[in-house]
Amino acid sequence: MQRHSARSARSARTKAWAFLSIATLCTALACSNLLDVKAPDAIGTGSLEDPLNALLLVQSTIGDFDCALGGYVVASGLMSGELQETTLTASRWSYDRRDIDPNESAYATNDCESIGTYTPIQTARFTADHALRLLEGWTDAQVPHRTNLIAHAAAFGGYSRILLGEAFCTAAIDLGPQLTSNQIFSLAISKFDTAVTAAQADPTNPIGDGNILNLALLGRARAELDAGNSAAAAADAALIPPNFTYDATYDAATSFRTNRVFSENNGHSVTVSPQYDSISATDPRVPVTNAHRLASDEQTPLFLQGKYADGSSPIVAGSYIEAQLILAEATGGPGAITILNSLRATKSLPPLDSSSDPAVIKADIAQERARWLWLEGQHLYDVRRFSLPLNPAAGQPYSITYSKGGTYGTETCMPIPPAETNNNPNARNPPAP
């Protein structure tokens, strides 16, 4: 939910607290799935802002992030050329065409189930921040494992900011001014600082994972790399142990919890872009199969990704592989190729040629990131920060299969929507250069 008015903030709180009340009810009734229960339209929040609900509050925050991430992977995959739009719904085409009009509602106010971006990411950010504020106001006596829950809330607040900074040209937070991506990354780093400190103070495991410290360190490394602080990024990335993986989890039984990449691709609304299909035969990191049928528009050949087997498949939110890719980029030079080749060896891929040419090394890093992190929501910002060639090229008729109208644009980030600027007077002017 956008944070551009008091009404929208109350709406976001209602959403989170409604989930908590349903969770409490389901615990009593032994429901099989919390999200199978229809949320009430309105609910008082005061009784739910209770230390007894601290764990459920953080779980709700994580659920908001997981849904936002799934929708974002699809939307950013369309913009970055990983995926291709194959519906007859014109309101969806602008992601794929890279020409988002700020007045479009789909990207601005749609929820994560409808491939919205701004509202779902802001919802995840707000619920994480609100959970953190409450936890910081409660005591250890009131909340078991309070510092561990603080680590989770702060880490997911940091990751939500990363998505905002990577996806949007500018964004605003809590009725504040428009912020540049680098300013948002700085705020993310601050959240990860809080998460790291809390995780180090209490490494116990009340939520079901023992990796919150590594997730916070990796998130901070990613934000530092995004912000251009290579030395800090390398220091954090080097701390991530082998075999570390942190998954965003999904459940095909409910729309809110389903893996959006699988549902969109296997539901024939998007197809894998031709350039990824062309490399799948020789690269196991990019599994693609020809469905030998047309997609939902009855015009475009359907190619199916094989990374996510079903609607309950997890999406990797952070991993040792990503940490090593960050370390390679931050290290640079021949050392970067050594790190990349160590990763390639785990998939029996031939080594990259050694090089000391910065341009060659940069191209190798970009290619390796594109393949290791395929359909994980990271390629769009790589296109932007590496100035990678747009595929299809700008100016070509849209689409590559049959004419839908217009031409491919040049956007590599989404504009801040009027839903924010119209309702937040502090965000009406762009940030200073």
Q: What domains appear along the chain, each with residue ranges and CATH number? A: 6-254+312-427 (1.25.40.390), 262-305 (no CATH)
- Closest alpha carbon to 374 in 314, 302, 316: 316
Q: Are 303 and 244 in contact (CB under 8 A)?
A: no
**CA dihedral (354, 356, 360, 364) positive or negative:** positive
**Residue 130: pLDDT over 70:** yes
- Check: CB of residue 148 under 8 Å from CB of residue 156: no
Residue labelled with tokens 């469905």:
291
Backbone φ and ψ of 7, nearest 5°: -65, -45
pLDDT classification of 433: cutoffs 50, 70, 90 = confident
Between CA 264 and CA 78 the distance in angstroms is 11
Measured CA angle at 119 (ends 118, 122), to 5 deg: 85
SS percent in the chain: helix, strand, coil, step 5: 55, 10, 40
For residue 397, the cross-strand partners are: 407
Reported pTM: 0.89
Average pLDDT over residues 68-73: 98
- The DSSP letter of residue 144 is T
Give every CB contact of residue 360 below 8 A, 6+ residues apart in sequence. Answer: none
pLDDT band at residue 53 using 50, 70 and 90 as cut-offs: very high
Are the C-beta atoms of 95 and 151 separated by less than 8 Å?
A: no
Contact 339, 327 (CB under 8 A): yes
In the structure encoding, which two tokens stand for residue 328, read together?
A: 């390679």
The Cα angle at residue 361 between residues 357 and 366, in degrees rounded to 5:
150
Residue 270 clears pLDDT 60, i.e. is over it = yes
Q: Which residue has the higher pLDDT, 261 or 14?
A: 261
Q: Is the pLDDT of residue 415 over 70?
A: yes
Q: Is 282 exposed, middle or buried (0-12, 13-18, 19+ CB in 10 A)?
A: exposed
For the segment 316-363, what is each residue's pLDDT rounded down to a tens digit? 999 999 999 999 999 999 999 999 999 999 999 999 999 999 999 999
pLDDT at residue 62 above 80? yes
> What one-character-per-residue DSSP string does 190-234 give?
HHHHHHHHHHHH----SSS-S-HHHHHHHHHHHHHHHTT-HHHHH
